[in-house]
Amino acid sequence: MQRHRYLTPRLYVDAPLAPGARLTLPEAAAHHAVRALRLHQGEAVVLFNGRGGEYAARIERVARSGVAVELGAFSATERESPLAVTLVQGLSTGDRMDLTVQKSVELGVQSIQPVAAEKSLVRLAGERAAARRAHWQRIAIAACEQCGRNRIPEIRSVVPLARYSAPESALKLVLAPDAGIGLRQALGPASSGIVLAVGPEAGFSEVEEARLVAAGFRPVSLGPRILRTESAAPAALAALNALAGDF
């Protein structure tokens, strides 16, 4: 039975790709193909390298020496959101931050800027911060493999919130439960570049909120219910996409 194109396994390969090329999958992609997806010789896959578009491919060989694939036709398919959203996310703990990254990528975020807020329960610096960034970038890649995106969102290095500066031209929003307006009122007709700030588990401090407002961020609410930090960013992204006609 032919596999539906939406169910064809997708693999990210950080290498130049071209129709008709043959290549051996990098170790991470090969492990995912064989151990997680249980793929065999002759099965169809889709390869993408994060530079736009994707390639039909077929597994030629599965062996201890590696997994070989042959590339077929290139498709310029893109599945990006019409909104270029940068998520400024207050550091949260463990699985919560992982979930925020995963779901935000699935919902079309363009980049994620983790920030250390006054109320963040986790502190990252040096090698530990670099390791977590690499971990989140892998989560972003896996999310793109799953959801069909062909461009990998950038996960930026952690910085203190006080040191973050948003682009002057962007529409800047900060989630605040007691804000008097919602996303519909804040999203203008030409709002394509958006910076969305979301606090950690206990939210931003009053001083941080005041600093963000002074920097041009507009407080917005997601409605009468208070969401957890790992739910807030994905909910806001879903709402923004719906308002922009992406859903």
Question: Does 192 lie in the same domain as 109?
Answer: yes
- Average pLDDT of the residues in 93-118: 96
Question: Does 96 lie in the same domain as 129?
Answer: yes
One-letter amino acid at 245 equals G
Question: Does 180 lie in the same domain as 147?
Answer: yes
Say if residues 62 and 52 touch (Cβ distance below 8 Å): no
Q: Is the pLDDT of residue 130 over 60?
A: yes
Question: Does 92 lie in the same domain as 63?
Answer: no
Domain count, the chain: 2
pLDDT of residue 190: 59
Q: What is the pLDDT of residues 56-95, one digit of tens each?
A: 999 999 988 889 999 999 999 999 999 999 999 999 997 9
CATH number of residue 115's parent domain: 3.40.1280.10
Q: What is the pLDDT of residues 157-195, one digit of tens each?
A: 999 999 999 998 899 999 999 898 999 998 876 566 999
Say if residues 115 and 161 touch (Cβ distance below 8 Å): yes
The DSSP bridge pattern shows strands 54-63 and 66-75 to be antiparallel
| pTM: predicted TM-score of the whole model, two decimal places | 0.92
Range of the domain at 34: 5-75
pLDDT confidence tier of residue 5, bands split at 50, 70 and 90: low
pLDDT of residue 101: 98
Q: Which helix (H) or strand (E) holds 111?
A: strand 111-116
- Average pLDDT of the residues in 139-148: 96
